[in-house]
Structure 1
Amino acid sequence: MKQTFPKKEHLKRKKLIDALFTEGQKVSAYPLLLVYKTSALPEEGVSIQAGFSVAKRNHKLAVTRNRIKRIMREVYRKNKQDFQTNGLTFAFMFIYTGREVMTYEQLEKAMLKLITKFNAAQNEIDD
């Protein structure tokens, strides 16, 4: 699988995002929270559409929020092949809940923990 994050994998539809927060399930690994939902995606050949969010309440400066989102996207891009979708399509929203700015290495460690928890939750459903 290519380690890219093209436009068609970006979560942009308002209806899908609203449904994600009303009906979605959650998995967390500090400082990341993953809200996910199985759904039919509008794009062909895509198994996951992902969005990234950082609360303005915790990080006042847009520069800081954008830096955190950029790092989160990069960590996701490098590790997205580890998510076990089992042929289903998912909408993901990654939310940064920490108050301090984490380094790339710390976020990657949290993302790997998050992937492990997500895969465990999916395996429970399959069993």
Structure 2
Amino acid sequence: MNQTFPKKEHLKRKKLIDLLFKQGQKVSAYPLLLFYTQAPLFEEDVVIQAGFSVAKRNHKLAVTRNRLKRLMREVYRKNKLCFQTNELTFAFMFIYTGREEVSYIELEKAMLKLISKFNSKVSAGSDDI
């Protein structure tokens, strides 16, 4: 049961990020929004590469943005094994859409709701992905 988030699981490639926002689908559970797309096989031995973003428009201070991203990464790290990928590789981008800071517990509830919505979408329409 590996609950780490190593560098090889970080979403960094510009081409993949552009593809994600151009062709990807989205699922939301306030205050989180998940953009995802099926990705070509990664060179590394990973199933999901994930990125995290907080809008500067909503959170002016870098300290606040960094804290929210740190919390999102931690919540993802603890719950990433719950994603059902059906042996496919995915690129994820988690975006924090709320205007106020939330606690870890509220963020974890939103992440679990997001995971269940994602899993139901993937299992129901695995041919549309």
Once the 2 structures are TM-superposed, how far is the Cα of residue 29 of structure 1 from its aligned partner? 0.1
Matched, 1:84 2:84: yes
Unaligned runs of 5+ in 2: none
Residue 103 of structure 1 is matched in structure 2 by 103
Residue 121 of structure 1 is matched in structure 2 by 121
Normalised to the residue count of structure 1, the TM-score between the two structures is 0.97
Once the 2 structures are TM-superposed, how far is the Cα of residue 5 of structure 1 from its aligned partner? 0.1
Quick one: distance in 2 between partners of 1:65 and 1:26? Answer: 22
Once the 2 structures are TM-superposed, how far is the Cα of residue 43 of structure 1 from its aligned partner? 3.0
Unaligned runs of 5+ in 1: none
Verify the 8 A CA contact 1:8 1:43 in the aligned structure 2.
Answer: no
- Superposed, 1:19-98 pairs within 5 Å as 19-98=19-98
User: Is the partner of 1:12 in helix, strand or coil?
Assistant: coil
Write the deviation string for residues 48-68 of structure 1: whole angstroms up to 9, x where unpaired. 000000000000000000000
Number of positions where the alignment pairs a residue of Structure 1 with one of Structure 2:
127
Once the 2 structures are TM-superposed, how far is the Cα of residue 41 of structure 1 from its aligned partner? 4.0
Give percent identity, aligned residues only: 76
Residue 3 of structure 2 is matched in structure 1 by 3
User: Which piece of structure 1 moves more, 70-79 or 41-50?
Assistant: 41-50
Verify the 8 A CA contact 1:48 1:92 in the aligned structure 2.
Answer: yes
Runs of 4+ in 1 over 3 A off after TM superposition: none
CA-based RMSD of the aligned residues comes to 1.0
User: Is the partner of 1:79 in helix, strand or coil?
Assistant: helix
Normalised to the residue count of structure 2, the TM-score between the two structures is 0.96
1:109 aligned partner, one-letter code:
K
Quick one: distance in 2 between partners of 1:9 and 1:104? Answer: 22
User: Is the partner of 1:86 in helix, strand or coil?
Assistant: coil
Residue 13 of structure 2 is matched in structure 1 by 13
